A = this chain, B = another copy of it.
């Protein structure tokens, strides 16, 4: 659709803004904008104000770099959690995924990505220095690596493992294996092989 076919400049501007979002093309953007046009004005103002307000007010926890409404996020501020166990993750979404399992009672550290020379991301672009600072202070007992099982994730795991080797902490990584509900014949051979090597006494799994 040629740009000149938009009947209104205001409409076109709004479509342009929506089309900048990931996975939203110009046709979808138009559909969303026309939907907003059909809504009550107050409803649309609320949408716009909520987005503006969020970007303006949101903070990153000064301890773990998770998204937060205050200087320290609710997880780091929770004294019932085990502050000697840190789970290192790539992004905020990983924090949410692990939190939704309700199986982890320690705290997090959000790296902000993984080391990826191809994308120009080196150790200094991540929050590795503050993590080391926390470990240096001596109250950390265990660091759990929960990064993606990609080449970059494994590289970052290894980099952190080497870096923190000199401190008196345990470093662990989350278990890799056959997903619950998966059939063996459809599991890739690397995962299946790893799950054999890392087999557990049966009584530990019941």
Is the beta-carbon distance between B93 and A58 smaller than 8 angstroms? no
On chain A, which size bracket covers the interface? 35 or more
Is the beta-carbon distance between B75 and A10 smaller than 8 angstroms? no
Is A46 close to B, CB under 8 A? Answer: yes
By DSSP majority rule, is chain A's interface helix, strand, loop, or mixed? helix
Is the beta-carbon distance between A51 and B47 smaller than 8 angstroms? yes
Is the beta-carbon distance between A7 and B37 smaller than 8 angstroms? no
Is A92 close to B, CB under 8 A? Answer: yes
Is the beta-carbon distance between A17 and B46 smaller than 8 angstroms? yes
Is A69 close to B, CB under 8 A? Answer: yes
Is A116 close to B, CB under 8 A? Answer: no
- B residues within 8 A CB of A190? none
Is the beta-carbon distance between B34 and A58 smaller than 8 angstroms? no
Is the beta-carbon distance between A8 and B58 smaller than 8 angstroms? yes
The minimal Cβ–Cβ distance linking A195 to chain B, given in whole angstroms, is 27
The 3 closest A-B pairs by CB, nearest first: A48-B52, A44-B55, A48-B48
**Chain A contact residues, CB within 8 Å of chain B:** 1-2, 5-11, 13-14, 16-17, 20-24, 28, 30-37, 39, 41, 44-58, 66-69, 73-75, 91-93, 95-97, 99-100
19 A-B pairs besides A8-B67, A13-B50, A44-B51 with CB distance below 8 A are A5-B100, A7-B66, A7-B67, A7-B75, A9-B69, A10-B69, A11-B67, A16-B50, A23-B28, A23-B31, A33-B51, A34-B91, A34-B93, A37-B55, A37-B58, A41-B56, A48-B48, A48-B49, A51-B51
For this complex, 10 residue pairs linking A to B, each with C-beta atoms less than 8 Å apart, are: A5-B100, A6-B96, A7-B66, A7-B68, A8-B73, A10-B53, A13-B53, A17-B46, A20-B47, A33-B51
